[in-house]
Amino acid sequence: MTGYLVRRAGQMVLTLFLIITVAFFLVQAQPGDYASFYALNPDLPPDVREQIRASFGLDKPLWEQYLIHLKNTVTGNFGVSFGHFPRPVMDVLIERVPRTAVLFLTATVFSFYIGFFLGKAIAWRRGGVLEYTATISGATLFTVFTPAFALMMIWIFSFRLGWLPVGKFLDPLVWRHADVTANHVFGQMLLTAFLFTVFAFLVLWALRKTGRVALARWAGPLIAVGAVVVLLLWSISSVGGLALDILKHMVLPIVTLTLISFAGTMLLTRNSMLETVREDYVMAARAKGLPEKQVRDRHAARNALLPVVTSLVYSLIFAIDGSVIIEVVFSWPGTGLTLLQAVRTEDLPLVMGAMVFIGLFSLLAHVIVDILYVYLDPRIRYQ
Amino acid sequence: MTNPQSAPVLKVVDLSLRYLTRGGAVKAVQDVSFELAEGQALGLVGESGCGKTSVANCLMRLLPDNAQLVAGQVLIDGQDILSLTEDKIREYRWQQIAMVFQAAMNALDPVYKVGQQVVEAIEAHGVEATVSLARERVARLFRMVGLDPALMDRYPHEFSGGMRQRAVIAMALACDPRVIIADEPTTALDVIVQDRILRELKGIQQQLHMAVIYISHDIAVIAEVTDRIGVMYAGRLVEYGATEDVFRAPLHPYTAALMGSFPSIAGEKRVLANLSGEPPNLIDPPPGCPFHPRCIHATEVCRQEIPPRVQRGSQWADCWHPLEESAVPESVEAGEV
């Protein structure tokens, strides 16, 4: 396993190098550069234009720019954003990436949970009303034109019903008198979510370790109590209202994303499970007198999980680079929107920084899924 | 070996089953009746598609959605299991009747440890109070079937074919069932392992005084381990009796043909009889005796009327032209249909 991981790390370095190289030359292949915005001003004398170009380092030959860029990236220096001057690229990304990650991770988790749950239910009981409803509505949502659907959601829930905000990350009116920054509150929310997830896993793990079936039933209630405590603590804290504002802004994009993407997992699970339900070990499980739910979940669905996890890789990458369409429609200041703006304005350092980030996370997602495989299927071993 | 005074633990009465398909109703099992006492072993033989596995699935009540029970009862200690509710049937499975599956390769779930899959059955029926007691029980079962208890924490893919078959037998014994159905228990194994496992299974059966139903297409395998034998053809039981009687002098030409189509190591060298043709289409079975299209003794009456039951000692067969006692398998050598 260790040898395998070392080899994988080597491959990752090589892949990342290729990503940086291709991305760099692709951006440079666009006509003009960031300095052209100033350089095209006819009021500026030619030597000033040259000076501006030189100040961005854009006067150097392409290969030299590339080598400087590569050296800086390797040493962890992502430079200063042209467009957000004088903020460093790292600073911009540290603000934007978590916003996208939270939105898309939540949506991915929801759509996988719903998709897997529905998929195994419709594979188990074929031909019911549920199968037709879920398949037809799921496939419709999956193939619908995303911007139109997102706008329709905004129209229904924000304009007509007025339940949820139209877009953006927060409501400036709520934050006018706040003495903390949005990043600070959001950071704390992330920390809480992370700690709560760890807590939930620890509870599940500890109760399973005791080996008593009766105790394992307490996992659900125990985690629910934990959730109530966390919510209570937040509601009495001074920033509770601000956190609620951010949460409100997250609901609509998450619901929209979940609706348009759950059908993929659902149909995949269904097809995969239609094969596993015919396996002899599922019949054996039923013959052993196990409850139907256990036959379905522990044997049929458990074995159907593998291809579903493979598709999770792609969704995880989605969770980092975000969807430009969704972020634009909901004005969500995440990686997708940032990358789009950076490319348009030829903000070279920011584009490259975002590309490195997205590349690195995608590669990590692949490794994580490969490692997860070992736990999901004991037949898989890496040498 | 037979124990006539003990009451039957399993009684199958006039069982008829059909599968509803697009082409019509497949009459998979028709009017099958037999009894099984404690400690007794019954063998069901016949070609593929003659209804053996359907009978087994009826006994477990593990039928596909398109199966329809037309008539009959399956009584265990007088309780008709075909009328039980889904919840009751779950308790009954494995505790009353367990099964050694056909193709043991696939009867073990690849993602769980072998021991865990046996523990699962024990837990589902609350046979042992805690997991550690259940694991001790599994260790005992493993030793009984000749497996090292340390193998409990291995995955099925780490087992050889013979080891998996033993594990599946251990799994069947997990809840001390009264009846075990062994559906082609050793077909996928090589002959030497096959023989050893069958002998061990027979030893366990006698030790635990269980009733066992062996299902196989290989009449020679069945003959070694059973007290009684039932020959199935086209969903019907066509011959039934004490194994030694049926083997010595089969009444039904089909039984004789089955016996002729397997080589004997000990017996003299002879040309294997070849039973030509295929079992009939069960959607629209032939009138009269279902075997008549392939039978060398068939006459006009066989083609038109259902054959009567012929009794000889413990043995009976449904046939118009039962074979004489002297008619040993050699007679089928001439079989050309």
pLDDT 10s digits, B107-135: 899 889 999 999 999 988 888 878 888 89
pLDDT tens digits, A136-151: 998 898 888 888 999 9
Give the percent of chain A with pLDDT over 90. Answer: 11
Say if B297 falls within a structural domain: yes
Mention every residue, 6+ apart, whose C-beta is less than 8 A from residue A247.
Answer: A189
Q: Domain range holding B276?
A: 251-337
Q: How far is residue B307's CA from residue B299's CA, in Å, rounded to a whole number? A: 12
Band (B267; pLDDT cuts 50, 70, 90): low
Q: What is the pLDDT of residue B274?
A: 64
Looking at per-residue pLDDT, the higher value among B49 and B147 belongs to B147
What count of residues does chain B have? 337
Question: Which segment of A104-108, A133-137, B100-104, B209-213 scores lowest on mean pLDDT?
Answer: B100-104
Match 């074929």 to its residue by tokens: A126
pLDDT tens digits, A200-239: 989 888 887 776 666 777 888 888 999 999 889 888 888 8
Say if B1 falls within a structural domain: no
Say if B281 falls within a structural domain: yes
Span A37-48, average pLDDT: 79
Cα–Cα distances (Å) from B121 to B117, B132, B177, in that order, read: 7, 14, 12
Contact call for residues B111 and B154 (beta carbons, < 8 A):
no
Q: What is the pLDDT of residue A40?
A: 75
Q: Is the pLDDT of residue A328 over 90?
A: no
Q: Is the pLDDT of residue A155 over 90?
A: yes
Q: Do B131 and A212 make contact, defined as CB atoms within 8 angstroms? A: yes
The sign of the CA dihedral B112, B115, B117, B119 is: negative
Q: Is the pLDDT of residue B138 over 90?
A: yes
Q: What is the pLDDT of residue B332?
A: 43
Q: What is the pLDDT of residue B330?
A: 46
For the question of an ipTM over 0.90, the answer is no
Question: Which segment of A31-40, A54-63, A163-172, B89-98 scores lowest on mean pLDDT?
Answer: A31-40
Say if B329 falls within a structural domain: yes
Q: How far is residue A119's CA from residue B64's CA, in Å, rounded to a whole number? A: 21
B10 torsion bin: left (phi>0), alpha (psi -120 to 50), beta (else): beta
Name which of B99, B132, B155 is nearest A287 (Cβ-Cβ): B99
Which site among A288, A296, A372 would you substitute to test the B interface, given the most B Cβ atoms closer than 10 Å to its Cβ? A288
The one-letter amino acid at B229: I
Match 């009017």 to its residue by tokens: B31
- Number of structural domains (chain B) is 1
Q: How far is residue B185's CA from residue B198's CA, in Å, rounded to a whole number? A: 8
The reply to whether A14 touches chain B by the CB within 8 Å rule is: no
Band (A28; pLDDT cuts 50, 70, 90): confident
Q: What is the pLDDT of residue B269?
A: 59
Band (A346; pLDDT cuts 50, 70, 90): confident
Span A47-51, average pLDDT: 83
Q: What is the pLDDT of residue A130?
A: 87
Residues 157 through 176 of chain B touching chain A, CB cutoff 8 Å: 157, 171, 174
Band (B64; pLDDT cuts 50, 70, 90): confident
Q: What is the pLDDT of residue A18?
A: 93
Which chain B residues are Cβ-neighbours of A286 within 8 angstroms? Answer: 62, 93
Looking at per-residue pLDDT, the higher value among A4 and A155 belongs to A155
The reply to whether A87 touches chain B by the CB within 8 Å rule is: no
Say if B258 falls within a structural domain: yes
Question: Which segment of A158-172, A286-300, A315-329, B50-64 scores lowest on mean pLDDT?
Answer: A315-329
Q: Is the pLDDT of residue B336 over 50?
A: no
Neighbour tally for B282: CB within 10 Å: 21
Q: How far is residue A20's CA from residue A359's CA, in Å, rounded to a whole number? A: 9
Question: Running DSSP on this structure, what letter comes out for residue A180?
Answer: S
Span A38-67, average pLDDT: 82
Say if B79 falls within a structural domain: no
Q: What is the pLDDT of residue A322?
A: 62
Contact call for residues B49 and B308 (beta carbons, < 8 A):
no
The one-letter amino acid at A26: L
Say if B300 falls within a structural domain: yes
Which chain A residues are Cβ-neighbours of B99 within 8 angstroms? Answer: 284, 287
Say if B266 falls within a structural domain: yes
Q: Is the pLDDT of residue B337 over 60?
A: no
Element (H, E) at A28: helix A2-28
End-to-end CA distance of chain B: 38
CA distance B93 to chain A (A): 5
Give the percent of chain B with pLDDT over 70. Answer: 89
Sheet of B8-21, strand order: B24-37, B8-21, B67-76, B79-80
* pTM recorded for the entire structure: 0.78
Band (B333; pLDDT cuts 50, 70, 90): very low
What SS3 string covers chain B?
CCCCCCCEEEEEEEEEEEEEECCEEEEEEEEEEEEEECCCEEEEECCCCCCHHHHHHHHHCCCCCCEEEEEEEEEECCEEHHHCCHHHHHHHHHHCEEEECCCHHHHCCCCCCHHHHHHHHHHHCCCCCCHHHHHHHHHHHHHHCCCCHHHHHCCHHHCCHHHHHHHHHHHHCCCCCCEEEEECCCCCCCHHHHHHHHHHHHHHHHHHCCEEEEEECCHHHHHHHCCEEEEEECCEEEEEEEHHHHHHCCCCHHHHHHHHCCCCCCCCCCCCCCCCCCCCCCCCCCCCCCCHHHCCCCCHHHHHCCCCEEEECCEEEECCCCCCCCCCHHHHHHCCC
Q: What is the pLDDT of residue A228?
A: 93
Q: What is the residue-wise DSSP string for A114-127?
A: HHHHHHHHHHHSTT
Q: Is the pLDDT of residue B12 over 50?
A: yes
Helix and strand counts by DSSP (H, E) for chain A: 18, 0
The reply to whether A290 touches chain B by the CB within 8 Å rule is: yes
The sign of the CA dihedral B170, B175, B176, B179 is: negative
The reply to whether A285 touches chain B by the CB within 8 Å rule is: yes
Q: What is the pLDDT of residue B148?
A: 92
